Chains A and B, each alone.
Chain A
Amino acid sequence: MSPMNEPLTEFERNARVVLEESVSRIDGRTRSRLNQARHAALEAAGARRPAWWRGLTLMPTAGAAAAALLVAVVLWHRQPSGEPPVLEAQHAAEDMDLLADSEALELLDGWDGPFYEWATAQTDNVQSEG
C-alpha cells in the first residue's frame, strides 16, 4: 500500500528527483511564455477589480452621508419645539419630579410670595418716579 502521508519510499524519492530535473530543463522560451501568462492574468484581474471593488469601498462613505442626511431631516422637522430632543426630554423629567415631590410644592406655597409682589411693586415705583 502506498503511504501517501508517510515518508516517501526510495522509488518515490527517485521519481521526485527525476521530475524536478525534468522541470529544471524547461527551456527559456517556455519559461518566458509562462511568465507573460502570469502577468497577463494578474493584470486582467487588476483591471477588472476597480469596477466593483472601488464601488464597495465607497459604500461606507455613501452610507454615512445618507445617515447624516436622515438625521438632519428628522431634526429639521422637530425644530418648532425650539429645543433639541434631548433637552426636551430632560425638562419633562424635571417637571415630573417637581409634580411628584409634594414637599417642594408646600415649600413653594408658603415661601415669600408677598415679598416678590412687594419687590416688583418697588421696582415699578422707582421707574415711575424716575
Chain B
Amino acid sequence: MSEFATLASPYIMPAARHGDVDLTDLEAQTRSRALNQFLAGVELKAFKMAQAALRHEDDALDAVQDAMLQLVRAYSDRPAEQWKPLFYRILENRIRDMQRRRTVRGRVIAWLPFRGDEGDDEPDPIAQAPSPEPQPPRRLELDQAVAGLEKALGELPGRQRQAFLLRALEGLDVAETAAAMGCSQGSVKTHYFRALQALRAQLGELYV
C-alpha cells in the first residue's frame, strides 16, 4: 500500500496545484512530443529518399536535419496532418539546393588542374569485403533486391523517383504527394506511372 502511495504522489501534486499550471507550457510540451513522434516516424524513410537522390550519406543526413529544423521552426503550429507533405516538400527543396550546389562545384572542380579528393569516392575495401558468415538464401535474395531497386531508383529522373518513393515508401496518396511535390495531381500520376514503367523494365515483374 505504501509503495502505491509513494508512486502516486508525484502525479497527485500537479493536480492539487492546478491553478499554477501554465497552459501554454503544457500545449508547447504536447506539441513538442507530437513533433518528436512525427519526426521519429519519418526520419529513416526521409533519409533513404535523400540518399537515393544525393547518393551521399552525409549530404542526406544534412538534408534531413535541415528539413526537420525548418519544419519545427516554421510549421510546428500547423495541424499535424499537414506536417508530412510539408516536411517532404522542405526536404525536396533542400535536396535540389544541394544538387544545384554540387553541380556548380563539379563544374568548378572540372576546370582545376588537380583534384585532391579523387580518392574519396573509392569504395572502402573493408566495407566491400563479403561477410565470412554464410547467409540464408532469403537474405541473399533480399540483398539483391535492395541493391537492384536502389540502383534503379538512382537512375530515375528526380521527379519520378520522388513520386514513387512518396507513394511506395511513405504511403502518401495523390493529393498528399502533389502537396509534397508542389505540382498538380495529374503531374504526380504521370511521374508515378513513368517511374513504375522504368522500374518494371529494369527489374522485372517479380524480383522478391
User: Which A residues are in CB contact (< 8 Å) with B159?
Assistant: none
B interface size (C-beta, 8 A): 47
C-alpha spacing A26/B43, complex, angstroms: 11
Q: Mark A40-59, 1 if CB is under 8 A from B, else 0.
A: 11101110110001100100
A57 near B206 with CB under 8 A, answer no
User: Which B residues are in CB contact (< 8 Å) with A33?
Assistant: 61
> CB of B54 within 8 A of chain A?
no
Q: Mark B13-45, 1 if CB is under 8 A from A, else 0.
A: 000000000101000100010011001100111
Q: Mark B138-172, 1 if CB is under 8 A from A, else 0.
A: 00001001100110000000000000110111000
A11 near B200 with CB under 8 A, answer yes
User: Which B residues are in CB contact (< 8 Å) with A14?
Assistant: 145, 206-208
> CB of A1 within 8 A of chain B?
yes
> CB of B205 within 8 A of chain A?
yes
B169 near A26 with CB under 8 A, answer no
B44 near A31 with CB under 8 A, answer yes
> CB of B65 within 8 A of chain A?
yes
Q: Looking at the complex, which one of B69, B145, B165, B168 makes contact with A44 (CB distance below 8 Å)?
A: B69
Q: Looking at the complex, which one of A15, A45, A49 makes contact with B199 (CB distance below 8 Å)?
A: A15
C-alpha spacing A2/B194, complex, angstroms: 9
B206 near A45 with CB under 8 A, answer no
In the assembled complex, how far is the CB of residue A107 from the closest CB belonging to chain B, in whole angstroms?
Answer: 58
